[in-house]
Structure 1
Amino acid sequence: MKKIVILGAGTAGTMMANKLRRALDKEEWKITIVDQFKTHYYQPGFLFIPFGIYNKEDVVKPKSDFIPSGVEVIYSEIDKIEAKENRVVLDGGKILNYNYLIVATGTKTFPDETPGLKDKLWYKEIFDFYTVEGAVALRRFFKDWEGGRLVMAITELPYKCPVAPLEFVFLADAYFTEIGIREKVDISYVTPMPGAFTKPIATKMLSELLEEKNIKVIPDFYIERVDNEEKKLVSYDEQEVPFDVLTVVPVNMGDAMIERSGLGDDMNFVPTNKETLQSLAHENIFVLGDASNIPTSKAGSVAHFAAEILFENLMSAIEGRPLHAKFDGHANCYIETGNGKGALIDFNYETEPLPGTFPLPGVGPFGLLKNTKINHYGKVMFRWIYWHILLKGKELPVEPLMTMAGKKKVG
């Protein structure tokens, strides 16, 4: 029997398990998925926990609910991939041989990489919201906080869900306005980027929104350390930003197993053909989601669109055909802006976010680079879509490759 092994039962790995099990003969192909954790987290929902919009229970479900029958599930840590031998070594020494391997081990936060970040103020006055533990701890803090300097800081690029820190400050503005202490809260957005976002047209729109909400942007700030005694961020060029409460995006890196396997770059992301999603080093290894080094957003939408391409190419490889499907880096992100409104961006490797309508030209119903109520509803609806359609590998009425239909060229 031929074997496909999927490493990681998060968004990307679960989608592929569902797609492949439907497509491949059960008598001919054995599919195995490996993950050390049994709980699946709806990570976009972490953002809403600090503001009491979601609770922990809203963002967790058993992984077993989404893995199809006929797929072998192994809950175990992974020691390493021995790519030349076509095998995976699990913690404890168990060996999994494979004909094809899909690496979907994602990215993780490493607060220890920044001196002083995970020190005596950690989860007391310094928080992340990229873990459910951090989001819940921040919720408890905000319940009693009476105001001061709130700093949202990004340590390093890349990081998953690039718009989430922006959404955080927008929601913070709305939350503190609602409870009547916004005039007592100074909100700053500290980023190593030259502006609010990586793309100029979107940066202009988002910067205007930040200014309108009285949120200060501190660009080109590369955090060297966090001073817990004086409660300040210190950059490599000795700039300082004081805080009373710090919310931070810690350094994001690929799984340590990638490093042990000798398959990663200096951030433990797997060098991957950005179009075919095939490992640059091994033809029978494909990489999906945040585990790869492809030059687009580390976001759930990218994993979804890329999964369509990877599926086509893996089927081509199995059948001995050339890998004709090409991923274009398509990303699609709702941006929660607070007060029941949201924005939407749609872009790929070559085309930055542009104004227009989505998914239908001239009709929408969603507005690109517009701050509207319908975009907010799109964000809210996505949680249901995620649990019931996306994870199960079902088709959505959005093409995996970006289209210019409905978009308006600028300049």
Structure 2
Amino acid sequence: MKNLLILGAGTAGTMMANQLRSKLKKEQWQITIVDQYKTHYYQPGFLFLPFDIYTEEQVKKVGKKFIPKGVNYVQKKIDRIFPEENKVKLEDETISYDILIIATGSKIAPEEVEGMKGENWHKNVFDFYTYEGALALRNKLRDWQGGKMVVHLTEMPIKCPVAPLEFAFLADSYFKEKGMRDKVELTYVTPLSGAFTKEKSAETLGYLLEEKKINLEIDFAIESVDNENNKIIDYGGKEVEYDLLVTIPTNMGDDVIERSGMGDDLNFVPTDHHTLQSKEHENVFVIGDATNVPASKAGSVAHFQSETLTDNILLYIDGKPLKEEFDGHANCFIETGDNKALLIDFNYKQEPVEGTFPFSVLGPLKLLKESVFNHWGKLAFRWIYWNMLLKGIPIPFVGRNMSTKGKKL
């Protein structure tokens, strides 16, 4: 009996457990998945928690219910990976493997910026990339009387690169609905030279910021948070004052990657961009936010990766060449407030463009255009996530590789 070990039971790890259990013969392969947490979170829902659009119950479930029968589910902390020995040390036992899949995700690291996780953390300095942070921010916003709200991005890469902008747009809509938009000065602060990483999208999103009267501060490389005077300071001496700071801290890979000596400066694992095989260990594969591939760290990307990775693990077992297939495909809805959203579809080489999706004539979704239909698509994704994506069920009409159908290239 051979052992396939998956580290992490988040989005990517759970999908791989479901796909591989149905592909590998049970009499030949034992599959084990390890994660210390009992709760599985729908992380895209954290964006909606602060605005009372989603409830706590809608973004969390017991993780075990999504692990298929026939997979050994171990709820323990991962201490260290020993790739040269094909072993992983847990808190009180060691597991050997023939194939290892690293799906340990990423996390925020506010301690990387001086003063960010200071005395005002979750008081008037908040994140919404954690369940705890999103809930604390929701409670703050319910009673907040207005002032200077700054939405701030520390550095790239981050989980769901569009989420900071979405938060700014939803905040604009939220305060309008409460009849207090005139009492809030909204500013979006980014280290980038535009509103977004992709040029075409940056033009559209920049226009929306202007239309919604959200100030834009670009090229801001934060050095510190001044908790006493409520301002953020960049390395060039620029300062932005706030009454309420909503920040997206540095995102880093799991600490176990650092302890194991397997990551880059941000603890992301060097990974072949197309095969998803570790660049240093041939029987180690990496998926989702744990990789260093230059694709968005988003659920849709992990889904597309999982299909290629499943095929490649089967090829690896058979001693055949791996598919150099994954193209960086990402598909993201961008909430723009007022019950509207944009949709972008892109990959490593192709930036987001206008057009229709997924069909060239019928659509029905519009690319890089605001619509109510896109907004409902964004909300519908939560059902798709719990009922299809986690279970490894292909999403109809959306292939693992980006299609050019309907795109105005």
* TM superposition score category, shorter chain reference: over 0.9
Q: Secondary structure at the match of 1:371?
A: coil
Q: Secondary structure at the match of 2:45?
A: helix
Looking at structure 2, the residues matched to 62 and 193 of structure 1 have their Cα atoms a distance apart, in angstroms, of: 38
Deviations 1:329-379 (A, max 9, x none): 000100011111000000000000010001111211110000001100100
Question: How far is 1:325 from its partner?
Answer: 4.4
Q: Secondary structure at the match of 2:270?
A: coil
- Code of the residue aligned with 2:45 in structure 1: it is G
- Code of the residue aligned with 1:51 in structure 2: it is F
The answer as to 2:158 corresponding to 1:159 is yes
Question: How far is 1:95 from its partner?
Answer: 1.1
The answer as to 2:380 corresponding to 1:401 is no
The answer as to 2:345 corresponding to 1:346 is yes
Looking at structure 2, the residues matched to 395 and 112 of structure 1 have their Cα atoms a distance apart, in angstroms, of: 38
Q: Secondary structure at the match of 1:84?
A: coil
Looking at structure 2, the residues matched to 266 and 395 of structure 1 have their Cα atoms a distance apart, in angstroms, of: 34
Matched with 1:356 is 355
Off by >6 Å, runs of 4+ in structure 1: none
The equivalences for 1:12-411 within 5 A come to: 12-92=12-92, 94-397=93-396, 398-409=398-409
Q: CA RMSD in A?
A: 0.7
Question: How far is 1:324 from its partner?
Answer: 2.1
Looking at structure 2, the residues matched to 388 and 274 of structure 1 have their Cα atoms a distance apart, in angstroms, of: 28
Matched with 1:11 is 11
Q: Secondary structure at the match of 1:85?
A: coil
Q: Which runs of 5+ in 1 are unaligned?
A: none
Looking at structure 2, the residues matched to 195 and 348 of structure 1 have their Cα atoms a distance apart, in angstroms, of: 19
Looking at structure 2, the residues matched to 153 and 106 of structure 1 have their Cα atoms a distance apart, in angstroms, of: 22
Looking at structure 1, the residues matched to 347 and 76 of structure 2 have their Cα atoms a distance apart, in angstroms, of: 35
Please say if residues 18 and 68 of structure 2, whose CA atoms lie closer than 8 Å, have aligned partners that are also in contact: yes
Please say if residues 274 and 323 of structure 2, whose CA atoms lie closer than 8 Å, have aligned partners that are also in contact: no
- Code of the residue aligned with 1:408 in structure 2: it is K
Question: How far is 1:157 from its partner?
Answer: 1.1
Deviations 1:152-202 (A, max 9, x none): 001111110101001101000000000000011010110011111001111
- Code of the residue aligned with 1:45 in structure 2: it is G
Looking at structure 2, the residues matched to 312 and 239 of structure 1 have their Cα atoms a distance apart, in angstroms, of: 50
- Code of the residue aligned with 2:222 in structure 1: it is I
Looking at structure 1, the residues matched to 224 and 17 of structure 2 have their Cα atoms a distance apart, in angstroms, of: 41
Looking at structure 1, the residues matched to 323 and 90 of structure 2 have their Cα atoms a distance apart, in angstroms, of: 33
Looking at structure 1, the residues matched to 80 and 216 of structure 2 have their Cα atoms a distance apart, in angstroms, of: 41
Deviations 1:70-104 (A, max 9, x none): 00011111111100111111112x11111100000
Please say if residues 342 and 371 of structure 2, whose CA atoms lie closer than 8 Å, have aligned partners that are also in contact: yes
Looking at structure 2, the residues matched to 256 and 136 of structure 1 have their Cα atoms a distance apart, in angstroms, of: 25
Q: Secondary structure at the match of 1:112?
A: helix
Question: How far is 1:44 from its partner?
Answer: 0.3
Q: Secondary structure at the match of 2:366?
A: strand
Looking at structure 2, the residues matched to 83 and 117 of structure 1 have their Cα atoms a distance apart, in angstroms, of: 35
Looking at structure 2, the residues matched to 318 and 97 of structure 1 have their Cα atoms a distance apart, in angstroms, of: 17
**Percent of aligned pairs sharing the same letter:** 58
Looking at structure 1, the residues matched to 287 and 234 of structure 2 have their Cα atoms a distance apart, in angstroms, of: 33
Question: How far is 1:58 from its partner?
Answer: 1.1
Please say if residues 104 and 289 of structure 2, whose CA atoms lie closer than 8 Å, have aligned partners that are also in contact: yes
Q: Which runs of 5+ in 2 are unaligned?
A: none
Please say if residues 88 and 94 of structure 2, whose CA atoms lie closer than 8 Å, have aligned partners that are also in contact: yes
- Code of the residue aligned with 1:355 in structure 2: it is E
Equivalenced residues, count: 408
- Code of the residue aligned with 1:8 in structure 2: it is G
Q: Secondary structure at the match of 2:47?
A: helix
Please say if residues 302 and 331 of structure 1, whose CA atoms lie closer than 8 Å, have aligned partners that are also in contact: yes
Looking at structure 1, the residues matched to 149 and 361 of structure 2 have their Cα atoms a distance apart, in angstroms, of: 40
Q: Secondary structure at the match of 2:25?
A: coil
Looking at structure 1, the residues matched to 71 and 302 of structure 2 have their Cα atoms a distance apart, in angstroms, of: 20
Looking at structure 2, the residues matched to 321 and 301 of structure 1 have their Cα atoms a distance apart, in angstroms, of: 27
Deviations 1:270-308 (A, max 9, x none): 000000000000000000000000011111111000111
TM-score by structure 2 length?
0.99
Please say if residues 312 and 325 of structure 1, whose CA atoms lie closer than 8 Å, have aligned partners that are also in contact: no
